[in-house]
Amino acid sequence: MNPARSTAPALFAGGEYIGQLWLFWLAPIMGAMIAGVLARVLYDKPE
């Protein structure tokens, strides 16, 4: 899922595609945030 690759076609096509564009940006960002939190929880050593 590449947000940059989804943005240009959606902008040129317009209409309902622009309404769906938020998902192509939000999903990878949320996935990265969840992965970062899980990595901290699973791999950080307690002090």
Tokens of 26: 């939000």
Domain boundaries, the chain: 3-43
For residue 20, the number of C-alpha atoms closer than 13 Å in the C-beta half-sphere is 9
Cβ count near 40 (within 10 Å): 9
Q: What is the pTM of this model?
A: 0.69
5-17 confidence digits (pLDDT tens): 888 888 888 888 8
pLDDT at 20 > cutoff 70: yes
pLDDT at 23 exceeding the cut of 90? no
Q: What is the mean pLDDT of residues 8-32?
A: 87
